[in-house]
Chains A and B, each alone.
Chain A
Amino acid sequence: MGHATIDTDELGTLVQVLIADGYQVIGPTMTGSAIELAELTDAGQLPAGWGVETGPGHYRLHRREDDAMFAHSAGPQSWKTFLHPPRRKLWSSDTDGSFQGADEETPRYALLGVRGCDLAAIGKLRDVLGGGTYPDSSFQARHQALFIVAVNCTEPGEVCFCASMGTGPAAGPGADLTLTEMSDHFLVEAGTDAGRELLARIDHRDATTDETGAARSALEMAAHRMGRAMPEVDLRALLAGSRESSHWEDVAERCLTCGNCTMVCPTCFCTTTEDVTDLTGDHAERWQHWSSCFELDFSHVHGGSVRSSGESRYRQWLTHKLSTWYDQFGGSGCVGCGRCIAWCPVGIDLTEEISRLAESAHD
């Protein structure tokens, strides 16, 4: 089946059909001064006419001249908030030695507006949390229940570099439906049977060759409008060989070790646990919550933290993301969304740090 075309208004029907099918539709919406991901009950909640201006340590909304709904690059949240929630109960126990798993009802999410970078990130989370000997059963259940509506990205931002990471601007495989937003219509492509069935229930027609051609050229132009590019070096080897580079000290002079980059990163998956008891001491629970390799306690063993300096913690983060992720999970941990650049309070740009590391490796 080729591409279909739907009118812009028909997106409202898409949302309603998903809701009728029992999905919780999650998509971008304007909340205060950022575009966040939240539950949508109506396509009118999409941020029509809003664009985003990003830069290192910079994120501002601006009014666009058109009413485009997906013409904003990545916001502070990513879809991991829904697939791998920030905080979750693992179990509860009474003193008799029985442990009851947290019986959570698996939410059925329909993710609306997943860009190529973020679709790749969901795949990376699946490899990490769902691909090993002991998968995270909560993640797996949420992931299996997903309906994904991707959007091809025609409005990359200043901090974006997905083209150089091979994850965008066109959304890769894995989505049920993929949209390309044009001025007065959407081009739609179904990637799964579930997607085809859904498309059949909304008003659509076959796309003309002019329409598919226009969408293709919009994507090609987007690939050339990326604000950044990851340097074309062997990242895995560069970082494996840079463990003792003096450049880490240079980064550490700027890095606040705040962990923002890890919170906004769509693939950072680390968690820690928290054990609590009630006042009687007869009932205990364990909770899991997001954690960051920038926290001093993260590497704590008796006697202290393995990585107490800021330079060692930045090195851990960047090396893991771009190099040791290959060793551990068979690919890169970075998808080029640029969130870590935009939300770094001091504007550290990993593509720039890689350039500097590559230069110093040549010295």
Chain B
Amino acid sequence: MTEPMLPVGYRVIDRTVETHDSATIQLEPIDRSLDRFRPGQFAMMYAYGVGEVPISISGIGDDGTLTHTIRSVGAVSRALHDARPGTVIGVRGPFGTTWAPEGAAGNDLVVVAGGVGLAPLRPVVLSALAARSAYSRVVVIAGARTPDEFLFRAELDAWTARDDLDVELTVDQPAAGWDGTVGFVTEPLARLRLDPERTVAFLCGPEPMMRFSARVLLRAQMPSDRIHVSLERSMKCGIALCGHCQLGPLLVCRDGPVVTYTVAEPLLTVPEL
């Protein structure tokens, strides 16, 4: 019997520095593997002796490895971010809802990421590329505060070079050596010519970024149930027992993190809900 509150030991086998405060770690199971994660789902990750936080999956290996991209913002995420190959991490999961990109087959796919929000969306892009012919247009719009703060920079460049993928990178402020777009992700998003009934959008980033991006899409006549967002709340259990992740009627760990904007809109527009 598996006990969902009991972590399973994984070992860090690779670590890639992404930005000044973010790193990607790849983990392999020590004895036992967790069930296969789906894009959008998260793991509860335990740094030995420090604590546990929810982290979305940023890469799903066919060999049972897990990839997580972690921004160092607190004691636990710092310990996970700093974990070198060999470090043992306790992992629970997979928990939560999925982006379910396969459900968008036949449509245009629009992926909009802000900052570290690109991490949970990476498996969406990778799965779309793996089944590229299933989709019509695939658009990736990624924003970062500065050019140095893009995650997966080499991969983004490779995606940009492909002619079956439209990639738009934008930074908040002008910077030396950056000749790309300057501004928020909403600007390239507003320039897209969308076929609103044949497009599915996936948004992940800070809540204001998701709200403003969703507003652009709604203005372009996209139905709100074709817009998906990933929510973030405090979580202690990940399995709908501890109560911390409530957002109005939602238990974000169980009913989210991925929800449609139909569900999210009335909740994200009330302060301190």
The proximity string for A residues 28-66 relative to B, scoring 1 for CB distances below 8 Å and 0 otherwise, is: 000000000000000000000000000000000000000
| Residues in A neighbouring B242, C-beta threshold 8 A | 270-273, 291
Specify which chain B residues have a CB less than 8 angstroms from the CB of A93 in the assembled complex.
7, 48, 90
Q: Which residues of A contact B271 (CB under 8 A)?
A: 312
Taken residue by residue from 113 to 129, chain B's Cβ proximity to chain A (1 for < 8 Å, 0 otherwise) reads as 00000000000000000
Chain B: interface secondary structure? loop
B233 CB → nearest A CB, Å: 6
A270 touches B244 (CB 8 A): yes
- Write the A259-292 contact mask toward B (1 if CB under 8 angstroms, else 0): 0000000000111110101000100101000010
Chain A nearest CB from B272 CB (Å) reads 4
Q: Please state if B4 and A134 are interface contacts (CB–CB under 8 Å).
A: yes
A134's partner among B10, B241, B272 (CB-CB below 8 A) is B241
When distances are taken between beta carbons in the complex, the residues of chain B under 8 Å from A98 are: 9, 31
Contact indicator per residue, chain A 74-118, by CB within 8 Å of chain B (1) or not (0):
000000000000000011010111110100000000000000000
- Given A97-B90, A272-B244, does the pair A133, B239 have CB atoms closer than 8 Å? yes
Choice from A243, A309, A324 contacting B246 with Cβ under 8 Å: A324
B186 within 8 A of A: no
- Asked if B241 and A136 make an inter-chain contact with CB atoms under 8 angstroms apart, the answer reads yes
In the complex, chain B residues whose CB is within 8 Å of the CB of A240: 248-249
**A149 CB, min distance to chain B CBs, angstroms:** 28
In contact, A99 and B8 (Cβ under 8 angstroms): yes
Chain B 17-31, CB-CB to A under 8 Å as 1, else 0, gives 000000000000011
State the Cβ distance, A324 to closest chain B Cβ, in Å: 5
For B237, list chain A residues within 8 Å (CB): 271, 273
Contact indicator per residue, chain B 224-237, by CB within 8 Å of chain A (1) or not (0)? 00000000111011
Across the interface, which residues of B come within 8 angstroms of A327, CB to CB? Answer: 248-250
Q: Restricting to A104-163, which residues have a CB under 8 Å from any CB of B? A: 128-129, 132-134, 136-137
Query: A298-306, A334-342, A344-352: which lies at the B interface?
Result: A298-306
Using Cβ atoms and an 8 Å threshold, which residues of chain A touch B10? 97
Q: Is the CB of B236 within 8 A of A273?
A: yes
Q: Are B6 and A91 in contact (CB under 8 A)?
A: yes
* Complex CA distance for A312 and B247, rounded to whole angstroms: 12
Q: In the complex, are the beta carbons of A91 and B50 less than 8 A apart?
A: no
Note all chain A residues with C-beta closer than 8 A to B49: 275, 277, 281, 284
What separation, in Å, do the CA atoms of A32 and B244 have in the docked complex? 35
Q: Considering only CB atoms and an 8 Å cut-off, how many residues of chain A contact the other chain?
A: 48
B51 at interface by CB-CB < 8 Å: yes
- Contact among A271, A281, A303, A328 with B251 in the assembled complex (CB-CB below 8 Å): A328
Q: Find chain A residues with CB under 8 A from B73 CB.
A: 302-303
By a CB distance below 8 angstroms, the chain A residues around B50 are 275
Given known A132-B239, A298-B234, contact A97–B251 (CB-CB < 8 A)? no
Contact (Cβ within 8 A) B243 A269: yes
Q: How many residues of B contact A (CB 8 A)?
A: 43
Label chain A's interface by main secondary structure.
mixed
Complex alpha-carbon distance, A91 and B5, angstroms = 9
The answer to whether the Cβ of A293 comes within 8 Å of any Cβ in the partner chain is: yes
Q: A275-B50, A284-B48 are in contact. Are A97 and B241 (CB under 8 A)?
A: no
Given contacts A97-B88, A300-B234, A328-B251, contact A291 B240 (CB under 8 A): no
B69 contacts chain A at the CB level, 8 A cutoff: no
* A261 CA to B71 CA, complexed, in Å: 37
Smallest CB gap from A269: residue in B: B243
- The answer to the question of B58 belonging to the interface, with a C-beta cut-off of 8 Å to chain A, is no
Q: How far is the CB of B79 from chain A (nearest CB, A)?
A: 11
Q: In this complex, what residue of A is CB-closest to B243?
A: A270
* A316, CB-defined interface residue at 8 Å: yes
Residue among A244, A299, A308 with max Cβ neighbours from chain B (10 Å): A299
Q: Can you name 9 A-B residue pairings with CB atoms under 8 Å?
A: A91-B6, A97-B30, A132-B240, A269-B241, A273-B236, A277-B48, A293-B246, A308-B272, A328-B246
Q: Shortest 4 CB-CB distances between A and B: which pairs?
A: A97-B9, A327-B249, A270-B243, A312-B272
- Chain B residues with CB under 8 Å of chain A are 3-11, 30-31, 46, 48-52, 73-74, 77, 88, 90, 232-234, 236-237, 239-244, 246, 248-251, 254, 270-273
Please list the residues of chain A having a beta carbon within 8 angstroms of any beta carbon in chain B.
90-91, 93, 95-99, 101, 128-129, 132-134, 136-137, 240, 243-244, 269-273, 275, 277, 281, 284, 286, 291, 293, 298-303, 306-309, 312, 316, 319-320, 324, 327-328
Q: With A133-B239, A293-B243, A327-B250 given, name 6 new contacts (CB 8 A).
A: A93-B90, A98-B31, A240-B249, A269-B243, A271-B243, A299-B234
